[in-house]
Structure 1
Amino acid sequence: MAPRATPLRAPSRAARPPGPVGVTMKVVRGLFSPLPRLRTPVATLGAFDGVHRGHQRILAETVSWARSLHGQSLVVTFDPLPKAVVGRAGALCITSLPHRLALMERCGLHLAVVVPFDATVAALPAEEFVGRVLLGWLGARHLVFGRDSTFGRGGAGNLRLLRRLEDQGVLSVRSPAPVRYRGKVISSTAIRQAIASGDLRAAAAMLGRPFSLLGTVVPGHRRGRALGFPTANLDLHHEAIPPDGIYATLARVGRKAYPALTYVGRRPTFLRDAAETSIEVHLIGVEADLYGRDIEVQFVAKLRDDQRFPTAQALVAQMEADRAQALALIARQRRNEPLAARRS
């Protein structure tokens, strides 16, 4: 028997879980845009694609240092990601900009500065970036920086350069040790590879949280509703997706998370040779009009591969079994969450 549906009021699209220290992060977009008044700013700088455990250590150090100085913490990040401009054009990101900002806010930062990354910014010499952007515009004389990170023209801005500037009294620098997984430094590249191969356990271990996608609900063909499984169809803003299949997931809408079935695939039962992969989320036992809203989908486990069914009735029977299995897996995960948290 299908779970009884309960109505859900769609929250404001901007709704996000608050940061751990009760800080609502402000966002400034554009290089040299007007800034809020900053008190002893402590900055960090980077793409932060995925906001993984290594990034989280850097962001936590930024917040902690700012707190010790009775100052404010800020992150400078880029959109599009630098790799899309000077590297592998067309490569998918782990987290789109809205997803990245939501995850950064949960780290307790006061301010995020989004710099549009283009050829002009890419050509800016590293020392000029420090002088004009970090010191001149942001007034940040305290910087937390990743040991393998780079910035500026040709990637000349690195920890060695920053240490030299520190020796000259230009700024103070901290560089936390990198975080490792299975003996290797965690990187966005390694996480993208894990997602693409379907190793969501490894991806979650490196991310420090379940792998998730953030997408905007867009109109679909409404086939799921006709079958008794209404779905929210997501536009993912070029985020990396796992292999085709049916997954047990949690769908976060505003401040609440709901058990869900998520389909990744090309709908072979209804379409032949579909060009694009679809992401469809069935919120179990929930009714809502979520068009235009953002949903974060946290992946719990893969249930099965995508497949073509001979009839719609056969598909429905399998989806009912999928739903029961998903609810059992999600209930088990929720029971184990406190233990998992103690182990991390």
Structure 2
Amino acid sequence: MELIRGIHNIRAQHYGCVLTIGNFDGVHLGHAEVIKGLLQDAEKHQLPSTVMLFEPQPQEFFAKDNAPARLTRLRDKLSLLAKLGVERVICISFNQQFANMEAEQFVSQVLVEKLGVKALTVGDDFCFGKRRRGDFALLKTMGAELNMDVKSTASFRRLNDRVSSTLIRHALAAGQLEDAKTMLGHGYAISGRVIHGWAKGRELGFRTANIALKRQVCPVNGVFAVRAKVGDKELYGVANIGNKPTFNGTRALLEVHIFDFAQDIYGQFMHVELIKKLRDEKKFETLTQLTAQIADDVTAAKQCFGLN
């Protein structure tokens, strides 16, 4: 799958495509249905299937720490979109200059002149351009004038509700991992490179692999039984997602204690799937209390995998 970073990197060879635009946060089953339609358009028109998304996500740019919790980082989105068969992703840098672009300018200069979009799929509530003045109706009108077929996505339903990133965030925040999985079509996971932490886990007798969350707001918090992958190794463990309140931490981390594992994996890429929420994160008065609780968490997590 080809990744184009920024409008300035769209070249002449990228002219001519079928396109969908959105955040694709989580790349859930609703998104998968959109991609299915995109691939059908690509086959019909014999043009590359193309997804346009934004970094940061628009609400992150405008609302900062008050933005909705992000489900997936860009790297994870790209991996999931590639698995769905997308040929090309255009990642737009969402900055003040882009936010100030008039809706009509975006359609005529970017979608038509640069990309030569033949078929465009967006949500019927899609808004874009300066002060969000552009909408589906504008796209339909301009599309008819510019020979660009414009259609809206149909809502995909699971659990008697419309599948959406918002609903998945609510399920994750409530610890309802199975409900989230049903809507995502895959287990919820966090991935990244293993970094050096405070080494507090090692001092307590529970060595951890640490991953920076690299998002303004994380949708999950607490202690979880997890399945992890490093390279081709599938591993099991218990993880804490939070800011270590016992140590008065301020930076949220994913900390994974892998069972019966002592290899040095600093700098390696780790994929961590959350299997079951065990408890909320809490502050302990003493390290003895914390150590005892971690031991209980390890036991509970091992029971999830039948390892006791």
Verify same fold: TM over 0.5.
Answer: yes
Task: Label 1:248 to 1:167 Cα distance change in 2 as closer, same or farther (>3 A).
Answer: same
Q: Percent identity?
A: 31
Question: Any conservation in 2 of the 1:253–1:294 contact (CA below 8 Å)?
Answer: yes
Partner of 2:267: 292
Task: Work out whether 1:240 is the aligned partner of 2:215.
Answer: no
Q: For residues 142-191 of structure 1, what are the alpha-carbon distances to aligned partners after superposition, in whole Å with 9 as ceiling and x for unaligned? A: 21222222222232332222222333353012323111244433322232
1:84 to 45, 60, 63: 60
What TM-score comes out, normalization by structure 2 length?
Answer: 0.85
Q: For residues 110-154 of structure 1, what are the alpha-carbon distances to aligned partners after superposition, in whole Å with 9 as ceiling and x for unaligned? A: 111111111211121222111111111122222122222222223
Q: Within 1, Cα distance between the matches of 2:218 and 2:141?
A: 38
Structure 1: which 5+ runs fail to align? 1-24, 330-344
| CA drift at 1:327 | 1.9
Question: Any conservation in 2 of the 1:227–1:316 contact (CA below 8 Å)?
Answer: no
| CA drift at 1:67 | 2.5
Task: Label 1:254 to 1:62 Cα distance change in 2 as closer, same or farther (>3 A).
Answer: farther
2:189 to 212, 216, 224: 212
Partner of 2:166: 189
Partner of 1:107: 84
What TM-score comes out, normalization by structure 1 length?
Answer: 0.77
Partner of 2:122: 145
Please tell me the residue identity of whatever aligns with 1:83.
Answer: Q
2:154 match: secondary structure: coil
Question: Any conservation in 1 of the 2:208–2:255 contact (CA below 8 Å)?
Answer: yes
Task: Work out whether 1:324 is the aligned partner of 2:299.
Answer: no
Structure 2: which 5+ runs fail to align? none
| CA drift at 1:227 | 5.3
Question: Any conservation in 2 of the 1:42–1:71 contact (CA below 8 Å)?
Answer: yes
| CA drift at 1:42 | 1.1
Q: Within 2, Cα distance between the matches of 1:177 and 1:313?
A: 50
Question: Any conservation in 1 of the 2:58–2:94 contact (CA below 8 Å)?
Answer: yes
1:328 match: secondary structure: coil
Partner of 1:304: 279
1:42 to 18, 39, 49: 18
Q: Within 2, Cα distance between the matches of 1:89 and 1:312?
A: 33
Q: Which structure has the higher relative contact order (CA within 8 Å, separation 6+)?
A: 1
Task: Label 1:161 to 1:264 Cα distance change in 2 as closer, same or farther (>3 A).
Answer: same
* 111-120 or 320-329, which deviates more: 320-329
Structure in which a larger fraction of residues adopt helix? 2
Partner of 1:9: none
Q: For residues 206-252 of structure 1, what are the alpha-carbon distances to aligned partners after superposition, in whole Å with 9 as ceiling and x for unaligned? A: 222222222332102334345554321110111524232x2111223
| CA drift at 1:299 | 1.1
Please tell me the residue identity of whatever aligns with 1:202.
Answer: D
Question: Any conservation in 1 of the 2:212–2:252 contact (CA below 8 Å)?
Answer: no
Partner of 1:163: 140
Question: Any conservation in 2 of the 1:28–1:35 contact (CA below 8 Å)?
Answer: no
Q: Within 2, Cα distance between the matches of 1:256 and 1:139?
A: 44
Task: Label 1:254 to 1:128 Cα distance change in 2 as closer, same or farther (>3 A).
Answer: farther
Q: Within 2, Cα distance between the matches of 1:283 and 1:230?
A: 8
Task: Work out whether 1:279 is the aligned partner of 2:254.
Answer: yes
Q: Within 2, Cα distance between the matches of 1:202 and 1:316?
A: 26
| CA drift at 1:310 | 2.8
1:260 match: secondary structure: strand
Question: Any conservation in 2 of the 1:49–1:188 contact (CA below 8 Å)?
Answer: yes
Task: Label 1:151 to 1:328 Cα distance change in 2 as closer, same or farther (>3 A).
Answer: farther
Task: Label 1:235 to 1:170 Cα distance change in 2 as closer, same or farther (>3 A).
Answer: same
Question: Any conservation in 2 of the 1:49–1:94 contact (CA below 8 Å)?
Answer: yes
Q: Within 2, Cα distance between the matches of 1:67 and 1:39?
A: 16
Task: Label 1:89 to 1:161 Cα distance change in 2 as closer, same or farther (>3 A).
Answer: same
